[in-house]
Amino acid sequence: MSRISLSDIRGLPDYAEMYRWKIQFLQLPSVGVAGFPLSQALDLRCESTAVPKLNNEKITIENRGHQTRRAGRSVYSENISMTFQETVDGSIHKFLKGWRELIWSTRGGVSRPQTDIEAVIRLELLDKEDKPYWQYILYGVWLEDYTPPELTTANDIIRIPVTFSLDFFTDSPL
């Protein structure tokens, strides 16, 4: 095998950059809060996101002192995390509170049907011209956890890490 040359490397397509992505909430829960941010507003405020993954479990087989492994079933990641930047209109707080109350009414102790609390999210990876080249569509997404900000004297903005639970996802090239 020959050594890799500079021409080989220069012949590769553009590298994928970590900051070129977009999220879109294709289906949002009906939170019904005044000032509820639309999908585009959530995309603008989303600072970072994880990428969903599919793990392959293994089956260990023991027979007469020997051990072998075989591929087992595929299991989707249980959750995905995103970090949102808050603005002074409180959009992220309103969004999270509204969704949290749909899942479990704090005062009433009731919840809405699962179909009312679930979202569908599309995550697109973008090229240098901001054209999508790969997409993930997440199904059965609901608010699992978020970390309220710790207020300090730091010269920074409020960032809210959020964990969403999901059932499964599809991924495909575009």
In a domain, 164, yes or no: yes
pLDDT at residue 36 in the model: 52
Residue 5 lies in a domain: no
Tell me whether residue 141 is in a domain: yes
Reduce the DSSP state of residue 96 to 3 states and report it: helix
Greatest mean pLDDT among 35-44, 88-97, 134-143 lies in 134-143
Confidence bin at 54 (pLDDT 50/70/90) = very high
Do 37 and 45 contact (CB within 8 A), yes or no?
yes
Q: Report if residue 73 sits inside a domain.
A: yes
Q: Give domain status of residue 18, yes or no.
A: yes
Please say if the pLDDT value at position 163 is more than 80: yes
Q: Give residue 40's pLDDT.
A: 82
- Number of separate domains in the chain: 1
Determine the pLDDT at residue 28: 83
Tens of pLDDT, residues 4-27: 999 999 999 999 999 999 999 998
68-125 pLDDT per residue, tens: 999 999 999 999 999 999 999 888 998 899 899 989 988 998 888 888 899 999 999 9
Q: Name every residue whose Cβ is closer than 8 Å to that of residue 81 and which is 6 or more positions away in sequence.
A: 49, 50, 161, 162, 163, 164
The range of the structural domain enclosing residue 155 comes to 14-173
Q: Is residue 8 part of a domain?
A: no
State the pTM of this model.
0.87
Per-residue pLDDT, 29:
80
**pLDDT of 48:** 96
- Give the domain CATH number at 129: 2.30.110
Q: For residue 31, name the pLDDT band (cuts at 50, 70, 90).
A: low
Cα 94 to Cα 9, 58, 89, 90, 173: the distances in Å are: 48, 43, 9, 6, 34
